Amino acid sequence: MALILGIETSCDETSAAVVADGWDVRSNVVRSQVDLHARYGGVVPEIAARAHIECIEPVVSEALRAADVEFADLSAIAIADGPGLVGSLLIGMTAAKTISLVHGLPLVPVDHIEAHATSAALGSADAPWPAIALVVSGGHTSLYAVRGFLEIELLGQTFDDAAGEAFDKVAALLELGFPGGPAVDRLAREGNPQAIDFPRTWINEPHDNFSFSGLKTAVLYRAFGTGNKYRTAPLDERTRADIAASFQAACVDTLVAKTVRAATERGVSTVVVGGGVAANAGLRAGLTEACEARGLALHLTPMKYCTDNAAMIAGLGYHRWRAGQVAALDAEPRSGLRRPARPKKGRQA
Ligand code: KG4
Ligand code: ZN
């Protein structure tokens, strides 16, 4: 049995976890900073980095205590090295390097989004691969072909806003607060999803990339008007609910269609979904219905592992460590996303 300590600080959650053999979660401590950022309507990088400095040591200690282990019991330390906010990543990486040096533990870098893509495997010794993985959160919207823990192929991703980012921005337009996803989800239940025909960008295009900025702009124009027809009076309740429901329907239709297409076209019979937006009731219902209709098995990651957490870092880190994928102490954070080539019209090679 091998115990891995995972550390995650890529955005605004400070998290540490102890996971045995890549799936058995012994502890998963998550300290959210949402209250610190709410008044600004989004994550402020400097505030996030400072809060990580304050939290990282107590969070790691708590994760070890909750799992009833000591540093000497660990086999390796897994660290999310990107993508994310560089100041936030630096805090987690510095802590992980220090622990690695002091306790003689191998340092295992783990890609944050690949960890989301494999998070559905946590909690069970039977991994669901091969599968198509949809990662849909505030910072990422990506499709992966996961053939195994060490064979994760990025198929496509968003070229502008992530789906969760679009939810948050629409929530801001409708004055629903931050983070807005859950509020839009709630308001959408009271509206008509067919009231407004919002764009479903690239829904029928034969590639695996997404774009949500056009949808967001369409909502802006619908809510406030354009040019000299700018609206200043507040929207009535019915219109707000219809905008929320129609926006969510456009977003969900696109995510579901592209995910199901990615699986059926490649002859893959399992779909897994992770990331904060996987909590969305419309998305869960849409994916469940579409996967049932196509005979696809659907694994929705449990909510506690959907939002940012270190258990998913330790889980994937175990497999990387076993494959000898360790880093030197001068490893640096990778803040940016690796983007595939922009899709051309027609079929991708
Ligand atoms: O995975 P996560 O905690 O952090 C990132 O890695 O980004 O995802 C947070 C995102 C936010 O944009 C939040 O608004 C969205 O997930 N979210 C939702 C719901 N719950 C959280 N979006 C739509 N419906 C929800 N129920
Ligand atoms: Zn994330």
Helix 237-266 to helix 213-224 angle (10° resolution) is: 160
Greatest alpha-carbon span in the chain: 67
Two structure tokens written together for 120: 């559905």
Do the strands 76-82 and 141-148 form a parallel or antiparallel pair, or are they unpaired?
A: unpaired
Question: What is the pTM for the complete model shown?
Answer: 0.91
Give the per-residue pLDDT at 177: 83
The residue among 136, 141, 168, 185 whose CA lies nearest residue 37 is: 168
The answer, yes or no, to whether residue 349 has pLDDT greater than 50, is no
Greater model confidence, 151 or 228 = 151
Mutational pocket test of ligand 1: of 137, 141, 284, 308, the residue with most ligand atoms within 8 Å of the beta carbon:
137
State which of 10, 28, 31, 167 you would mutate to test the pocket of ligand 1, scoring each by most atoms of that ligand within 8 A of its C-beta.
Answer: 167
Protein residue with its CA nearest to atom 8 in ligand 1: 276
H-helix segments, the chain: 34-38, 45-67, 86-103, 112-118, 163-173, 181-188, 213-224, 237-266, 281-294, 303-306, 311-322
Q: Check if 139 has its Cβ closer than 6 Å to any atom of ligand 1.
A: yes
Confidence of residue 337 (pLDDT cuts 50, 70, 90): low
Residue 248 CB–ligand 1 contact under 6 Å: no
State the DSSP code for 242. H
Q: How far apart are CA 7 and CA 28, in angstroms?
A: 10
Rounded distance between C-alpha atoms, residue 59 and residue 314, angstroms: 15
339: confidence class by pLDDT, cuts 50, 70, 90: low
pLDDT at 151 over 50: yes
Mutate to test the pocket of ligand 1, among 170, 277, 303, 304 (most ligand atoms within 8 A of CB): 277
139 Cα nearest atom in ligand 1: 7
Residue 275 CA, closest ligand 1 atom number? 1
Categorize the per-residue pLDDT at 78 as very low, low, confident or very high, splitting at 50, 70 and 90: very high
SS3 content of the chain, % helix, strand, coil (to 5): 45, 20, 35
> How many whole angstroms separate alpha carbon 110 and alpha carbon 325?
9
Domains of the chain, earliest start first: 3-123+305-322 (3.30.420.40), 131-301 (3.30.420.40)
pLDDT tens digits, residue range 94-103? 999 999 999 9
